[in-house]
Every structure is written in structure tokens, then in C-alpha cells.
Amino acid sequence: MAKPTGFMDYSRETQTDYPPQERILHWKEFHQPFSEESLNRQSARCMDCGTPFCHTGTLINGMASGCPIHNLIPEWNELVYRGLWKQALERLLKTNNFPEFTGRVCPAPCEGSCTAGLVTSPVAIKSIEHAIIEKGFEEGWIHPEPPLKRTGKKVAVVGSGPSGLACADLLNKAGHSVTVFERADRIGGLLMYGIPNMKLDKSVVDRRVNLMADEGVVFVTRTEIGKDMPADMLVKDYDAVVLCGGATKPRDLQVEGRELKGIHFAMEFLYANTRNLLGGPSRDADAITISARNKDVLVIGGGDTGTDCIGTSLRHGCRSVTQFEILPEPPHARQADNPWPEWPKVLKVDYGQEEAMAFYGRDPREFSITTKRFVGDENSNVKEAHTIQVEWVRDANGRMGPKEIPGTEKVWPVQEVLLAMGFLGPEDQMLEQLGVARDSRSNVLADGEHYGTSLPGVFTAGDMRRGQSLVVWAIHEGRGAAREVDRYLMGSTEIKG
């Protein structure tokens, strides 16, 4: 235990953010670093509980409770408290390939199930994790460590998002020769093009990718399996194949006027923005540039991607931004049917909403609202969104659903609409070429905790297997797939996925 009275002596602190009015003027990360004094106080609040729910990594009512990769949180909290930073880094890296990613973008289900949260506020686990890994890089403790010997086995990993990178990292460390195929021009998948720079600076992604390359992982960009390379070629040329292509098929909004110009999927907007920010030639000759400057922007969808669209639109210099959510506004405190250690389903103000509130003086979110149609101008550009409020009621089978409220119709002036309503599953071309079995949600069907598909030697992990999820779950999946691929190739494994 760090300090027996820590959670009583010290209040919770988290990393201070730069003021919204300042940070929307640039694309740099907006978190300010913690001082070592603050980190010492925060790590002291960890009680090393007899049953530490923070690293259980279970699903309760469909939501993560505790860390899915089972980070040894009480152990590295105590080591930070005692100033043993290098040992803390060693404990952190035992379970997490990429703490620099999760320490920035993870919603921290570990904190939602922290025992201290029962009586006070939870330990600032995410901030401490971020500090440990960054200190490791600053001190030079993290450097290329290629395997001492190779097994002679070749593995292809399709997709370079968090699951693909985690899988490739562990398989390379086990001595296999790993090649990662990515259809974009840069490695990182969601980490590179799906998350804006102010949340995850792309130099952080490149730093990790370069480290893995120095350790022997081969990265091939601008190569879409199933299009630029036949999918069956991988099965013939490699001893094992791992499909980590994500769930990239966006959910559409099928309403009148959807075809109007100025209506885009959120990922089109975010991808184009990062492409422009990074510069260089695009892989696609017809790549588009989408700007929110001087426009009334409507974001449809209330998740992290919707928040990223708000933050990006503000940095473009939009005239206004509004976010629609069909669900009711969450409560401000835990309800009786949402007890600890479940993920707290309460109203949160994320960075995008905070910035919009500072700039426009109001929360950009509108709850319990649905879009009925879009109306365009004489040039087929979207100019209006027509909406109606809904209430959530139970049908004859007891299932909750939205019911329109007559008399609540409204017209909203918009010139840019961004659809951030989630994803339906993986894209089809590669999977159809391979002929792998799919489940009822169109995800690749895999063999339980063995990650094997219906094709021998072909495995899958991440969102392509489990559907849209968190970065930390993707890392968990990639680690598990690496373990099973190693077992398949060698007959046994020492990988702790």
C-alpha cells in the first residue's frame, strides 16, 4: 500500500487542460503534464484494495468494469509513490503494449470501478499511467529490443490499428517474422486517422511505430488486402494470418435529403482533417477536403467520435456547432440501477463540449431528438435539418424505443452535417474473398478465446471480431490473438495475452 490514509489526506486531481479559448487556436494536445509532487499525492490515494476491482476487466450489463488488459494498477501506483519509476514502467508494460495511447484516449473503466469511488472520488489512474510511460521515454528506458532469435515462421497482420499493432508487437517479441499491411499511407489505423491530433499527437503514434520497426516488424502501407493484393495470397505466403481490419462500415441516416452536398460521415471529416494537418500526397486521387469554417455545423451522434467532430469544427472556425443525441440526457449522478462497480452512466462534459460552452456560452448537445429530413438550396447544398423531439417508451414486448412528440418539430440552419452514429461492422471485400464465416452482426466469427476463424491458420482480433469498441479492448484482443497464433505455430506459448 502506498499511504494508508492517502485517500483521506488528498483529494483527486487530474491533469490540467489548457483553457478552451487558447487550445482551439491550435492542434496540439491540450493536457498539461502533472508535476511529480502531484503524481506522488495521487498515487498515494491508491489503497491496494484486498479485491482491486480496477483491473478486473469484466463486462457488466454490456459495459467494461475495470481494465480489460488487467493492468497491475495498485502495484505501479505504489512504485510511483515510492519514486521507483523504472520499476513502475516495467510493471505497466507487462500488461499494456501501448500505455501512451490508453493514457491519452481511454475513457478509463478502471476509474469507474475504483473502490475509492464508493466513498470519495476515484484514483487518477489514467493520468498516472500517462506519466509513467512518458517518463520512460524521456529517461531513455524504452529502446528497441529485437528478439534474440527468430523462429522461421512468418505472420501477416492485416490492419495497423491498436489490435493489429498489439498482436504484431507480441508476435515479433516471440521471434516470428511479422509483416503488417495497412491500406492508408501511414501506420496507425484509428490511432492515426480516427482520433484528432489534439487528443493523440501523431508523433506519439510514429514514435511507437518506429520503435516496432527497429525491433523487426515490417510495415507495408498503401496496400489494401482484397484490392491491391488478393486475400488468398496471404494465406499461401504466410504461416498464419491475423485479420485486424476494424469495424469501419459507418451507420448511415436514411432520411430524405441524405444525398445533399455537405453531409458526410464523421470519419471522412476526421480523416481529411488529419491528412491535411500531416500534409503529403493522399493515397486516394479523389480525396476530399472538408472544412467547417464559417458554417453552422450539425453533429449527429453523441459518442467520442461526435465529440471529436465538435473539437475539430471549432478549430476550423465554424460559425456554430450543435450535437444531436437521440437518447435522453443522462443523470448527473449514479442511479440505483447503475451501482458501482458498473461503468457510471452519468452526464459527462468532454473536451469538445467544454470548448463549445466556452466559445458559445451553451452546451452544444440536444437530447431526445431525431432528424426527419434535410433540405437543400438551389445548388443541392444542405441548408436545413428538420427535427422532432422523442420520448422513450416501452412497446408491447417491453422494449424501450423512441416515440415522436407531436408539436415539437423544429428547423435548424446547417451547412455541414457530420454523421457520427457508430459502425455496423467490417467491410466486406477482403472477407468475402477469403470466405471466412461471419456472425449475425457481420463480424468475423472466431472460436471463443482462441481467436481462430473458420479458415485454418487465419485468426482475427479487435473490432473486426467483437464490433466497435474501445482502444483498450482492441489491445486486449490483439494480445489474445498473438497468444493463440504463437500456440498454433509452435505448439505451446509463453505469451501472456
pLDDT tens-digit profile of 129-175?
999 999 999 999 999 999 999 999 999 999 999 999 999 999 999 99
Instruction: List pLDDT tens digits, range 189-204.
Output: 999 999 999 999 999 9
Q: How is domain 6-138 classified at the CATH fold level?
A: Fumarate Reductase Iron-sulfur Protein; Chain B, domain 2 (1.10.1060)
- For residue 497, the model assigns a pLDDT of 77
Nearest to 443 by CA among 165, 244, 162, 267: 244
Level-2 CATH architecture, domain 154-249+424-490: 3-Layer(bba) Sandwich (3.50)
- Confidence label for 63 from pLDDT (cuts 50, 70 and 90): confident
- Confidence label for 48 from pLDDT (cuts 50, 70 and 90): confident
* 336: CB partners within 8 A, 6+ apart: none
Q: Name the one residue in this structure whose C-alpha cell is 446547417.
A: 414
**Spans of all domains in the chain:** 6-138, 154-249+424-490, 252-421
Work out the average pLDDT over 319-344: 94
What residue type is assigned to position 175 of the chain? G
Q: What is the mean pLDDT of the chain?
A: 95
Instruction: List pLDDT tens digits, range 376-429.
Output: 999 999 999 999 999 999 998 889 999 999 999 999 999 999 999 999 999 999
Is the per-residue pLDDT at 288 higher than 80? no
Please check whether residue 204 is in contact with residue 31, taking contact to mean a CB–CB distance below 8 angstroms: no
Work out the average pLDDT over 326-351: 93
Spatial separation of the C-alpha atoms in residues 68 and 112, rounded to whole Å: 13
- Confidence label for 118 from pLDDT (cuts 50, 70 and 90): confident
- Confidence label for 34 from pLDDT (cuts 50, 70 and 90): confident
- For residue 379, the model assigns a pLDDT of 97
Nearest to 311 by CA among 471, 105, 462, 131: 105
Please check whether residue 367 is in contact with residue 325, taking contact to mean a CB–CB distance below 8 angstroms: yes
Q: How far is CA 123 from CA 10, 103, 490, in A?
A: 10, 14, 41
Nearest to 163 by CA among 225, 248, 228: 248
Is the per-residue pLDDT at 448 higher than 90? no
Please indicate whether residue 315 or residue 3 has the higher confidence score (pLDDT): 315
Work out the average pLDDT over 71-95: 96
Q: What is the CATH number of domain 252-421?
A: 3.50.50.60
- For residue 285, the model assigns a pLDDT of 44
What residue type is assigned to position 332 of the chain? H
- Confidence label for 286 from pLDDT (cuts 50, 70 and 90): very low
Instruction: List pLDDT tens digits, range 84-101.
Output: 999 999 999 999 999 999
Q: Do domains 6-138 and 252-421 have the same CATH topology?
A: no
Looking at mean pLDDT, say which of 47-51, 336-340, 369-373 comes out highest: 369-373
